[in-house]
C-alpha cells in the first residue's frame, strides 16, 4: 500500500500545533534561528512552511510518485499544478469524459487530475459500475462540496441523504413511486401535456400553414413544474398559464450557470461552504432567494396536508400525501424531500424534453414517423379519449425516441462520489477520500458498449427484437441516465412516463424546425445540460386525425 499522510495531517490543527512546538523550541534553545526572537513571528513562519511542504507533497509528489492509482490508465497532458482541470471546466460537463473514455485504452478505470492535481477516477465499464453502484454502493458517498452546493435548493432529501438515513427515506417513499401508483398518474401527465400544447397555440395564434417560433426550454420547465406540483404535491402552480410564476422564475435563475456560478464552483475547492454562502455576491442572493421560496412553499403545503390528515379529510394520491401517510418522516424531512422533487423532478425532465425537440428538428424523418405513431394510437386528443398507461406504453417508437434521447442527452452529465473508507474497485486499491466520477455522458456514448454508432441518434436501436429494455447494449449498466442499485433514481418510472406524455402530445400537435438551422449548438454546464442560448424552434400546427393514420397504413 502506498504511503499516505494520515487524515489528521491534512487539518489545520495539526499544523498549528506543530508550528507552535517548533517556534517554542527555536525561541528557547536556538533564538538565532528564530524570527525576531518572537514566538508569534516564528510560529507564523513555521506554519506557512508546513503548509508549503504539504502543498508540494499533495500537488507534485503524491499524485505522480506515491498514489496507488498512478499505475492506472491516465489522461495524457495537462498542466503541472492542475492536471486536466482547465479542459474539464472549459468544455461542457461530461464532454471531455465522453472523449477520454472512448479514446484512451482502459479496463474500467481511468485516472485524471483536477484542480491542484486532486485525483479523479472515471468509471467506464459495467463491472466497475456494478461495484460502485450496487455491491459497494454505500462505500461511496456524495462529497461534501456536492452536498453543500445542492442542499440549499434541493434540501437534504433522498437525493443527498446517506447511509441508514437514505435507506429509511427510500423505503418510506417507495410506495409513492411504485408503478401501481405511477400508472394512475398518466391521465394527469397527458392533461398537462395538452395544456402545454394549448398554451403554446394560444401564444402563437398561428394561421393555417404559417410558422411561429418559441423558446422551448422555458415552456418545458413551466410544464414540468406544473406536473410535479400536481402529481407530487397536489398543488396547482399555474406556471404554464403564468409566465411570471415566482417559483419558475427563481428556479430558472438558480439553475442558470453564469460566470458567478462558475466562480463559486471554483472557490468551493478552497473556501469552506459557510464562507462561500456569506459572500456578498448576486449569485448567492439568487440561490438563497430560490431556496427561501421553495422551502416556504413546501412547508406551507406540508402544514395544509397535515391539517387535512388530522381532520380525516380525503387525501389526494400525490407523492407527498403518500409520504405523509407513511408516518416515516418528520416535518423537516418532508419539506426537504418536497424541495428535492420540485427542483430535481422538473429540471431534469425539462432538459430531456428540450433535447428531444432538438433531435427531432435535426431528424425530420424521425419526427414524422413518431407523429404518425401517436396519431394512429390517439386519433382524437379530446376529453372523450381516455389516456392510460397501456396506451402510452404500447407505442414502441415513442419509447424508442424517449430512451434514445435519455441515452444520448442524459440530463445530468455526471455525478460525483467519494470513497468513504479505503476500498477497492476491480481489485485496485482505492484510498479513502478518492473522488469517483460517474458520467452518463461517458458511459451512454461508449463505443465498446453501444457499438460504432454510439454517438448517433438512432431510436431503432430500441425497436429491434429483444432490445426494448437495453437498446442492444452489452449490459444494462451501459444506460446510466438513472444510475443503478440502491442509489438509483427513485423517480425513474415517473420521469419516463411524464416525458413520454409530453413528447407525444407536442410532436402530434406541431411540426418543429430549428429557428436558425445554421446556429452552432453550444451546451451550458451546470447540474443539468441545456442549450447555452436556449432552443428556439419554429412551430407549425398539424392536423390531428385520421389523415396521419392513413399515411401510416
C-alpha 391/C-alpha 269 separation (Å) is: 49
The count of other CB atoms within 10 Å of the CB of residue 427 is 6
Tell me the CA end-to-end span of the chain in Å, nearest whole number. Answer: 67
489 is in an annotated binding site: yes
C-alpha 68/C-alpha 62 separation (Å) is: 9
For the chain, how long is the longest CA-to-CA vector?
A: 99
Q: Are 424 and 127 in contact (CB under 8 A)?
A: no
Q: Are 189 and 497 in contact (CB under 8 A)?
A: yes
The count of other CB atoms within 10 Å of the CB of residue 381 is 20
**Burial call 393-412: b when 16+ CB within 10 Å, e when fewer:** eebebbbbbbbbbbbbbbbb
C-alpha 40/C-alpha 46 separation (Å) is: 10
How far CA 302 is from CA of 319, 335, 338, 345, 364, in Å, comes to 12, 7, 9, 18, 45
Question: Measuring CA to CA, which residue among 294, 262, 288 is closest to residue 532?
Answer: 262
Q: Which helix (H) or strand (E) segment is 67 a member of?
A: none
DSSP string, 136-193: TGGGEE--HHHHHHHHHHH-SSTTT--HHHHHHHHHHHHHHHSHHHHGGGHHHHHHHH
Beta bridge partners of 423: 430
Q: DSSP code of 527?
A: S
Alpha-carbon dihedral 262, 265, 270, 271, rounded to 10 degrees? 110
- CB neighbour list of residue 214: distance below 8 Å, 6 or more residues apart: 200, 203, 204, 536, 537, 539
C-alpha 85/C-alpha 289 separation (Å) is: 31
C-alpha cell, 64: 505522480
C-alpha 319/C-alpha 182 separation (Å) is: 10
The count of other CB atoms within 10 Å of the CB of residue 518 is 5
Would you list which residues are annotated within the binding site?
A: 489
Would you list which residues are annotated within the binding site for heme?
A: 489
Amino acid at each position: 500500500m502506498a504511503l499516505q499522510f494520515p487524515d489528521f495531517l491534512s487539518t489545520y490543527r495539526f499544523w498549528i500545533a506543530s508550528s507552535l512546538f517548533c517556534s517554542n523550541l527555536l525561541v528557547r534553545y536556538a533564538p538565532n534561528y528564530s524570527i525576531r526572537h518572537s514566538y508569534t513571528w516564528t510560529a507564523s513562519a513555521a506554519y506557512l512552511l508546513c503548509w508549503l511542504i504539504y502543498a508540494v507533497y499533495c500537488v507534485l509528489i503524491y499524485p505522480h510518485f506515491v498514489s496507488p492509482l498512478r499505475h492506472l490508465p491516465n489522461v495524457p497532458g495537462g498542466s503541472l499544478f492542475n492536471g486536466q482541470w482547465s479542459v474539464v471546466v472549459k468544455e461542457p460537463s461530461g464532454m471531455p469524459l465522453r472523449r477520454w473514455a472512448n479514446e484512451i485504452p482502459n479496463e474500467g478505470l481511468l485516472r485524471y487530475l483536477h484542480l491542484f492535481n486532486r485525483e479523479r477516477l472515471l468509471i467506464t465499464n459495467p463491472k466497475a459500475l456494478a461495484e460502485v453502484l450496487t455491491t459497494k454502493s454505500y462505500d461511496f458517498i456524495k462529497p461534501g462540496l456536492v452536498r453543500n452546493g445542492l442542499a440549499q435548493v434541493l434540501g437534504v432529501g433522498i437525493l443527498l441523504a446517506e447511509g441508514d438515513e437514505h435507506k429509511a427515506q427510500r423505503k418510506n417513499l417507495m410506495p409513492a413511486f411504485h408503478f401501481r401508483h405511477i400508472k394512475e398518474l398518466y391521465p394527469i401527465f397527458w392533461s398537462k401535456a395538452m395544456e402545454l400544447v394549448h398554451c403554446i397555440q394560444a401564444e402563437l395564434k398561428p394561421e393555417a400553414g404559417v410558422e411561429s417560433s418559441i423558446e422551448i426550454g422555458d415552456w418545458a420547465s413551466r410544464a414540468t413544474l406544473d406536473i410535479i406540483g400536481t402529481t407530487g404535491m397536489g398543488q396547482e402552480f399555474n406556471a404554464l398559464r403564468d409566465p411570471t410564476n415566482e417559483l419558475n422564475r427563481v428556479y430558472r435563475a438558480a439553475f442558470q450557470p453564469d460566470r458567478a456560478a462558475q466562480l463559486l464552483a471554483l472557490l468551493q475547492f478552497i473556501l469552506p461552504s459557510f464562507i462561500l454562502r456569506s459572500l456578498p455576491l448576486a449569485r448567492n442572493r439568487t440561490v438563497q432567494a430560490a431556496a427561501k421560496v421553495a422551502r416556504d412553499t413546501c412547508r406551507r403545503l406540508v402544514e395544509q396536508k397535515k391539517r387535512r390528515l388530522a381532520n380525516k379529510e380525503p387525501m389526494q394520491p400525490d407523492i407527498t400525501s403518500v409520504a405523509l401517510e407513511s408516518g416515516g418522516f418528520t416535518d423537516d424531512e418532508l419539506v426537504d424531500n418536497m424541495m428535492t422533487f420540485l427542483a430535481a423532478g422538473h429540471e431534469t425532465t425539462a432538459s430531456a424534453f428540450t433535447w428531444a425537440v432538438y433531435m427531432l428538428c435535426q431528424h425530420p424523418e424521425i419526427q414524422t414517423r413518431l407523429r404518425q405513431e401517436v396519431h394512429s394510437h390517439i386519433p382524437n386528443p379530446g376529453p372523450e379519449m381516455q389516456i392510460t398507461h397501456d396506451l402510452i406504453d404500447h407505442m414502441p417508437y415513442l419509447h424508442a425516441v424517449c430512451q434514445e434521447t435519455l441515452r444520448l442527452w442524459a440530463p445530468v452529465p455526471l455525478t460525483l462520489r467519494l470513497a468513504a473508507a479505503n476500498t477497492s474497485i476491480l481489485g485496485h486499491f482505492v484510498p479513502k477520500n478518492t473522488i469517483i466520477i460517474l458520467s452518463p455522458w461517458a458511459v451512454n456514448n461508449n463505443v465498446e458498449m453501444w457499438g460504432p454508432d454510439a454517438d448517433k441518434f438512432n431510436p431503432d436501436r430500441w425497436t429491434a427484437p429483444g432490445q426494448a429494455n437495453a437498446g442492444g447494449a452489452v449490459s444494462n449498466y451501459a444506460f446510466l441516465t438513472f444510475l443503478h442499485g440502491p442509489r438509483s433514481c427513485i423517480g425513474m418510472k415517473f420521469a419516463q412516463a411524464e416525458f413520454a406524455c409530453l413528447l407525444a402530445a407536442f410532436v402530434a400537435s406541431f411540426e418543429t424546425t430549428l429557428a436558425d438551422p445554421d446556429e452552432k449548438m453550444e451546451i451550458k454546464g451546470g447540474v443539468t445540460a441545456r442549450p447555452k442560448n436556449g432552443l428556439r424552434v419554429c412551430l407549425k400546427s398539424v392536423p390531428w386525425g385520421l389523415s396521419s393514420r392513413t399515411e401510416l397504413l
